[in-house]
Amino acid sequence: MPETTQIHPDKVRAYLATDYRLGHTAEDIILTVGQRSERLAALFASKGVSCGAFLTAFNPRGTIQSDAANAAGHAELAALLHDQRLRGIEGSGSEAGTDWPSEKSWFALGLHLDPAKALGHHFDQDAIVWAGADAVPQLILLR
């Protein structure tokens, strides 16, 4: 993470405390920033990739949007991943014990850091979560 950011420290704390969930079943992989995920490492190995990014188009800059706006952004993100021939696993991000609504997201298998940042910027997000070959999710601040 950069040493300086325009993002309020409370938001950064919330992003660090969020559970990043890949999937919608009992077999979900839940990522925690800074903690190696053996299940993510196994997923990378099984799919022949060495990285991936957890991305959302919901609530740009952490500002609540309408359901319609969020749904349109989510669909656009899915289309962009498809256009780039990336496999996306739908998921969600949420912080337990808060009123902030869960945000639909995509985990893009094989998406390298710079293109992942570009997608985050495209959807005016504060941050993305990216993991390299070590399968340790990192919070990447974008502002």
Average pLDDT, the chain: 93
Nearest CA to 119 out of 81, 72, 70 is that of 81
* H helical segments located in the chain: 9-17, 38-47, 67-83, 113-122
Residue 1 above 60 pLDDT? no
How far is the C-alpha of 115 from the C-alpha of 37, rounded, in Å? 22
pLDDT in the model for residue 91 = 94
The whole-number average pLDDT for the span 45-54 is: 97
The arrangement of strands across the sheet holding 138-141 comes to 29-31, 19-22, 87-94, 103-109, 52-55, 127-131, 138-141
